[in-house]
Structure 1
């Protein structure tokens, strides 16, 4: 099985030595997404809710570029710098995953790249 690099200008370019996503067979691994505006190295805003939406939009755009959708997501990992924002994140997350509920972990971390407040990554599967 070979790996295919997934790249789209609808999500921010990698800010390090990694790919936005890697497709291996029916699996898609989406790298952690923070709230960078596509085509920029700037955060969308300092507001947690704005950052959560942008990070999820970036993740969704990488899924789309690979031919996947949110309903193909098997697991989501979320990193936040303030667990006090957990309920805010859950409300926004439900806008994206209202019917389909992937496995998920939310972990508080000391810091994220670019001073972001939230980062999301996912693993998706689709039989082609």
Structure 2
């Protein structure tokens, strides 16, 4: 199986030993995207909607870099530190995806670094 990594200059560089995305066969596996600007500073403190916008913009940039797009996403996993933010996240999410929507899991977690409220990863068609 051929495997290569994707690095978009329009999304934050990985914070650790992982790739922004990996293409394997006909699929792209995009790592969890975080609400950080290009200097690694949190965007939208205490604002789940703004953080979701930022995360999905990073995801779209990585997908474009790989020759894919948001309409080729088949699965997402959303991690929220507070499930009370679900509605705000869902409103933004619905503007970035169209029918047929990707499959999605939403998971409540205890915390993310630097006061982040959300992280989203995806699998897309390459």
- TM-score (norm: length of structure 1): 0.93
Partner of 1:76: 76
Q: Secondary structure at the match of 1:60?
A: helix
Shift of 1:113: 2.5
Q: What does residue 95 of structure 1 align with?
A: 95
Q: Distance in 2 between matches of 1:125 and 1:49?
A: 26
Q: Distance in 2 between matches of 1:108 and 1:27?
A: 26
Give distance in 1, aligned partners of 2:100 and 2:71: 6
5+ long unaligned stretches in structure 2: none
Query: 1:33 maps to which residue?
Result: 33
Structure 1 unaligned runs (5+)?
A: none
Deviates more, 1:94-103 or 1:60-69: 94-103
Correspondence 1:112 to 2:90:
no
In structure 1, the partner of 2:19 is 19
Does the residue aligned with 1:78 lie in a helix, a strand or coil?
strand
Report 1:60-71 matches (<5 A). Answer: 60-71=60-71
**TM-score normalized by structure 2?**
0.95
Q: Which moved more, 1:106-115 or 1:5-14?
A: 106-115
- Helix, strand or coil for the counterpart of 1:87? helix
CA distance in 2, matches of 1:109, 1:29: 21
CA-based RMSD of the aligned residues comes to: 1.0
Displaced runs of 4 or more, over 3 A: none
Q: Tell me the residue number matched to 2:54.
A: 54
